[in-house]
DNA sequence: GTCGCTGCAAAGTCTTTGCAGAGAG
DNA sequence: CTCTCTGCAAAGACTTTGCAGCGAC
């Protein structure tokens, strides 16, 4: 199993750590560590995108064709991981949920409505403020998404 | 609750204005102004909540039982309104989308991933910061959307 | 060996589509 | 009149569940 970090930033944790967290979680709940659960975690870890259950299932069929992992197992494992906060799910307005590992870093998007260019950014002040607001309103904040729409400097010319 | 407010009930557009916008939109696209489309717009306007297609359909059956508006028409009209940016939709999980009129005042959303409850808020500090960031990165900001996902106080119990 | 896990297929949900008659322009 | 809309029901898309055998512990 590769012991690598992604090139995102220092908030990303290593796979070995993630895997042992997962095993600890399973043990604590008298659940079993199966090869299907392992490859699902690994595939989520190695993906830079938000995955739908279907796209994750597809990836598994490509990378581990011998396992013949069923879509039902993908759904069941994602629910398990989400319930234990190891992955978060987002719905972006389209149909269905998308999942990503909670261990990855977060960023927001500036989207140019003219050329479609997307700039990523993270702003600590906004991040802090979001936590504050969630707390004020009694929410246990899990994740957030923010998009700013506008016209980029190039397109303003 | 310092700078956070959930007071969002001021309408930016009156219903008459909204209705004539809707009629203009229909005319422009050679579509017809039907009683079903009207009551759907009106019901959205008079609701302070985010409505699912199903809950909107329910409201229509209560308020306009004689029309017997079908659920398919609700879906079709919501799609039409969304495509033309008169309503916006939010997704909060596997249980479908919720819709609201775009004509209402700007606000952001806190979405409970357990029960789907949506709380609205406006925070000046974040609004200001978004403008600042857009400016810093050379964007002419037009709009933005922000969703915080978490677990509401009720569901934490 | 026990008991949870898995794949499969069937069953649920939610949403869209085909169609023939109704109705707006 | 013409051509779009509508309600209905069937079809589709997505997700969950029941079950019998498999496999981790």
Taking the alpha carbons at both ends of chain A, their separation in whole angstroms is 50
On the CB side of A1, CA atoms within 13 Å amount to 16
Structure tokens at A113: 């409505």
**Torsion angle, alpha carbons of A5, A7, A13, A19, to 10:** -50
B24 inside 8 A of chain A by CB: no
Nearest chain B residue to A95, by CA: B96
Q: Which residues pair with B140 in a beta bridge?
A: A151
Nearest chain A residue to B108, by CA: A146
Structure tokens at A39: 């490859």
Name the residue among B141, B114, B119 with its Cα closest to residue A108. B141
Q: Which domains does chain A have, with CATH numbers?
A: 9-101 (1.10.10.10), 108-156 (3.30.1490.190)
Structure tokens at B74: 């609700």
Are A112 and A150 in contact by the 8 Å Cβ rule? The answer is: yes
**Exposure string for B58-92, b = 16+ CB within 10 A, e = fewer:** ebbeeebeeeebeeebbeebbebbbeeebbbbbbb
Q: How far apart are CA B119 and CA B5, in angstroms?
A: 11
**Residues B52-111 pLDDT 10s:** 999 999 999 999 999 999 999 999 999 999 989 899 887 665 566 888 887 667 889 998
Strand C interface, A 26-85, C-beta < 7 A: 26, 30-32, 34, 36-37, 67-70, 72-73, 76-77
Per-residue tens of pLDDT for chain A, all 157 residues: 333 333 344 445 689 999 999 999 999 999 999 999 999 999 999 987 779 999 999 999 999 999 999 999 999 999 999 989 898 877 655 556 778 787 666 778 887 777 767 788 899 999 999 999 999 999 998 888 888 888 889 888 8
Nearest-10 crossing angle of helices A35-46, A53-63: 110
Residue-by-residue DSSP string for A80-95: HHHHTTSEEEE--SSS
For the CA of B67 and the C1' of D2, the distance in angstroms is 24
pLDDT at B130: 94
């Amino acid at each position: 199993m590769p012991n690598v970090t992604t090139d995102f930033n220092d908030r990303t944790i290593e796979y070995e750590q993630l895997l042992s967290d997962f095993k600890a979680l399973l043990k604590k709940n008298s659940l079993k560590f199966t090869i299907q659960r392992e490859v699902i975690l690994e595939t989520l870890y190695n993906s830079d995108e938000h995955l739908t259950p279907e796209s994750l299932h597809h990836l598994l069929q490509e990378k581990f064709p011998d396992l013949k992992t069923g879509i039902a197992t993908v759904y069941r494992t994602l629910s398990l991981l989400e319930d234990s906060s190891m992955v978060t799910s987002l719905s972006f307005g389209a149909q269905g949920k998308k999942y990503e590992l909670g261990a990855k870093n977060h960023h927001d998007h500036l989207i140019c409505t003219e050329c479609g260019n997307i700039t990523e950014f993270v702003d600590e002040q906004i991040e802090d403020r979001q936590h504050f607001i969630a707390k004020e309103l009694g929410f246990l904040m899990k994740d957030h998404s923010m998009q700013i729409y506008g016209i980029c400097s190039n397109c303003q010319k």
